[in-house]
Amino acid sequence: MPIHPTAVVDQGARLDPSVEIGPYAIIGAGVELGPQVQVGAHAVVEGITIIGAGTRIFPHAAIGMDPQDKKYKGEGTRLVIGADNIFREFSTANRGTQQGGGETRIGDHNLFMAYSHVAHDCVVGSHCVLANCASLAGHVEVQDYAVLGGLVGIHQHTRVGRCAMIGGGGMVAQDVPPFTIAQGDRARLFGLNIVGLRRSGHRLETITALRNAYRELFHQGTPLRIALEQVREVYAESAEVLELVAFIESSRRGVCRSVSADPLPEG
């Protein structure tokens, strides 16, 4: 087990024999590190934190620290991280709170760039990218293949849909639907994430259906409730369009509006 002699590893930590720990890193009690996990110099992993195989933690990252929540009183909450994630320098990910279900969860194959932050009780899917200084407030959900540009801020209890992209500096206070691009303060929608859809292997027919559905939902001026019913009926054979509709219908904070359309009528 290649552990640098200056590293501090609590006897209560559980480490796979293949784990690598760099100089002056700190591994606390309750931490579980899977096969081939690498922890860089001066990084800190604390609390009940479970990290899957192949994850790399770069120098000065702080993983599994107490949630930044005044209501937190030292309860035994968790951070669960999947396989093959990358946490770059000074990135942070906090454990959950009892009020939020007790757990922060991160999937597989994600990239968290320098100074990015995942707050308490967040759920991050797989294959996501948080660029430099992107920050998630508490209880945020980021679905698979989402991309958050540098300096993006996501409000508490907000959702970012699958394959969505948020441009650098975006301040997001409402849900960003799947397959869309959002940008600005407060963030507005700028159409579909065509590049992301193509990269993730979606067919031309799917992209066309999503483009038409987006236009009907956000550009026609039809009351949203009626537009959702119409789109669901017309595109009943498109799983992606139905996913978009279901996401909007389940929103509690409301969804971002299109930059090229007036706010949709209520109802």
CA distance 219 to 205: 21
- Both tokens of 93, joined, read 């990910």
- Both tokens of 221, joined, read 């001026």
CA distance 80 to 101: 13
Active site residue 185: no
Please list the alpha-helical segments (H only) found in the chain.
194-199, 204-218, 224-234, 239-249
Nearest-10 Cα torsion for 69, 71, 72, 73: 150
Active site residue 64: no
Residues 108, 121, 144, 175: which is the catalytic one? 121
Give, for 105, the enclosing helix (H) or strand (E).
Answer: strand 103-106
Residues 28, 138, 153, 196: which is the catalytic one? 138
Active site residue 69: no
Residues 120, 125, 139, 155: which is the catalytic one? 120
Q: Which residues are catalytic?
A: 120-121, 138
